C-alpha cells in the first residue's frame, strides 16, 4: 500500500476546507463551538449560516436544518459519521471537556490507524471525537 502523500497530484488539493453541520439553532450551536472547542466566529451570512475558524485555520460551517427528520445513526451508519478533532493530550482534553459538561459516548478506545479516541456529542446530538495520535512525518 502506498503511504506517501502525492503532493504533485493534478487536482491541486491542499486539504479539507470545512465540514458543515445543520442545526436547529445556528447561533446557539456556533456559540457552543466557540466557547467549548475554541473556534472563532469568522463570517455570518443572513440565511443564517456561521463560518467558524478553528485554531488550525480549518473552517466549520453551521447552517439551519430543513424540515426532514433527523435520522438515527451510529458511527457506522452510511454517510458522514462524525467530526474528529485531533488533540495533543487526550487526557487533558477530556478533563477540560468534563468541566464543560459534555455528553460522552463511551470511554477512551484505540483509534483505527493508531492513537486513542473518545466520542462525545455537541448540544444538538452531533457526534464528535477527540483523537490523540502521532503522524509519522516520514510518510508525508
Say how far apart CA 140 and CA 127 lie, in whole Å. Answer: 29
Higher pLDDT, 71 or 35: 35
What is the reported pLDDT for 137?
52
What confidence tier does 71 reach under pLDDT thresholds 50, 70, 90? confident
- Is there a cis peptide before residue 48, judged by omega within 30 degrees of 0? yes
DSSP 27: H
Say how far apart CA 98 and CA 64 lie, in whole Å. Answer: 28
User: Which tens digits make up the pLDDT trace of 94-114?
Assistant: 999 999 999 999 999 999 999
The DSSP element (H or E) to which 93 belongs, if any, is: helix 90-99
The DSSP element (H or E) to which 86 belongs, if any, is: strand 83-86
Amino acid at each position: 500500500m502506498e503511504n506517501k502523500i502525492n503532493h504533485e497530484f493534478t487536482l491541486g488539493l491542499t486539504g479539507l476546507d470545512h465540514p458543515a453541520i445543520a442545526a436547529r439553532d445556528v447561533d446557539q450551536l456556533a456559540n457552543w463551538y466557540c466557547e467549548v472547542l475554541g473556534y472563532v466566529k469568522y463570517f455570518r451570512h443572513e440565511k443564517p449560516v456561521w463560518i467558524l475558524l478553528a485554531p488550525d485555520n480549518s473552517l466549520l460551517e453551521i447552517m439551519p436544518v430543513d424540515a426532514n427528520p433527523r435520522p438515527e445513526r451510529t458511527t457506522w451508519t452510511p454517510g458522514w459519521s462524525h467530526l474528529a478533532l485531533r488533540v495533543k493530550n487526550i487526557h487533558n482534553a477530556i478533563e477540560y471537556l468534563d468541566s464543560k459538561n459534555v455528553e460522552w459516548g463511551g470511554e477512551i478506545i484505540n483509534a483505527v490507524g493508531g492513537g486513542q479516541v473518545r466520542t462525545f456529542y455537541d448540544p444538538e446530538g452531533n457526534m464528535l471525537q477527540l483523537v490523540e495520535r502521532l503522524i509519522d512525518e516520514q510518510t508525508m
